[in-house]
A = this chain, B = another copy of it.
Amino acid sequence: MVNIGIIGVGRMGKIHLENLSRKIDGVHLVAAVNTGKEGQKFAHDLGVPNVSDDIGIILNNPKIDAVLISSPSDTHSTYAVKAAEAGKAVFCEKPIDKSLDKAKETVAAISALNVPLMIGFNQRFDTNFAKVKENISKGTIGDLRNLHIVSRDPQPPPISYIKKSGGLFKDMTIHDFDMARFIMGCEVVEVYASGNCLVDPAIGEAGDIDSATVLLKFENGVMATIENSRETKYGYDQRLEVFGSKGVIKVDNPLKSNVSIATESGSTLDRQLNFFIDRYETSYLEEIRVFVDALINKRPMPVTGEDGLRAMTIAEAANQSLQENRPVRVGKV
């Protein structure tokens, strides 16, 4: 039985709380820390025995084995290091920190403390993407020759969010950078990024882009393209296609139902799911299951601090590429 404390009961924290308290075996949710009352009430209602705004109830509780950090992004690194210093295993939502340097320091510090660290790249645990990875590993499509990722949100976040987000590449594309590394099984060496404001000029005024096309070159010479947009009218769009010497694997979007209607104007399928909470629901459950399982069986973490840093360095290179309109080499980790 793994005893867990959670820091941060916001949108993501609530998902983890529900999963931990109801759906995962071998785990006991001992404590929840949140600064606001609403998140504390949520934890109470789910029966979490210790709830407070004081992180001490987690750090000072010797029974707690692991800490799940889903607080605001700018607190991740501080809490992660504190938890590690208290000897707890750490599950930390991405990003470790918006500053690559600070993220590197954080990972180094935790690594020096020799506690397990997992980064919350949940999409790796989505049934679809996991099945793609499994088939690639089995050699179903032979040697990989190309990867194409489409990742489009249904609508842009508020401008206030955009301003604090670190920019499209660190906020949104970062998932696709991790997915590209996960699928290809090797490292990105060069990035050419292109983007602009096609959705909302206010995003441009806030210093960000809302549409991007990114080309990644991997160390094995294979290329990947990523297409991002902050808006679609047809629902959340999360697809992927890997082309190999023996075939091609595609992940298409799940639909709201399996109903189709044919009339005079053609045959219509149902809409895609709305957003990531519907689309990746089970992946959030699965990532925690795998984290707990790795703790229990003392196995290496499936998504490491290095994975978090790698995606960050690609995002940094993408930002530089966008500014200088040239391919940029990806930095070391």
Contacts and interface: CB of A to CB of B under 8 A. Distances in A.
Copies in the assembly, this chain: 4
A146 B327 contact: no
A243 B265 contact: no
Interface residues of A, number: 67
A326 interface: yes
A150 B246 CA distance: 17
A261 B245 contact: no
Interface stretch (A116-124, A158-166, A216-224): A216-224
Interface string A199-237: 100000000000101010100011101010101111001
B243 A249 contact: no
Contacts of A148: 148, 150, 225, 227
Interface in A242-268: 243, 245-268
A261 B249 contact: yes
Contacts of A215: 192, 194, 213, 215, 225
Contacts of A257: 127-128, 131, 251
A247 B259 contact: no
A221 B128 CA distance: 33
B227 A243 contact: yes
Contact of A128 (B152, B222, B258): B258
Nearest to A235: B262
Given A146-B211, A243-B227, A268-B267, A261 B141 contact: yes
Interface of A: 22, 127-128, 131-132, 135, 140-143, 145-146, 148, 150, 152, 192, 194, 196, 198-199, 211, 213, 215, 217, 221-223, 225, 227, 229, 231-234, 237, 243, 245-272, 325-327
The 4 closest A-B pairs by CB, nearest first: A247-B263, A234-B262, A213-B223, A252-B258
